[in-house]
Amino acid sequence: MSTTATSEAPQTDNHYELTSADRCDSCGAQAYVRATMPSGSSLLFCAHHSAKHREKLTGMGAIWHDETARLQATN
């Protein structure tokens, strides 16, 4: 008897950029951070709320997509 086990890494879409239409789930401001939970669900946060929730959600296995550097980008 033979069995094949596969292990799938959590899928993240690093090519997806947050837009001005993406809003913080806590306050409704523009989202610059996406936290993807191990279940596959995502939470969007402004810079303030991502800092507030980062420690707890990281402990729960969240993967972070952080675009807060765009706040300080100069053109």
The full set of domain ranges for the chain reads 33-72
- The answer to whether 33 and 58 are in contact (CB under 8 A) is no
Using the predicted structure, report yes or no on whether residue 7 has a pLDDT greater than 90.
no
CA atoms within 13 A on the CB side of 23: 6
Structure tokens at 46: 């402004």
Tens digit of each residue's pLDDT (9 = 90 or more) over 8-61: 334 445 567 999 999 999 999 999 999 999 999 999 999 999 999 999 999 999
- What pLDDT was estimated at residue 16? 77
- Whether the per-residue pLDDT at 71 is higher than 50: the answer is yes
Q: What is the pLDDT of residue 9?
A: 39
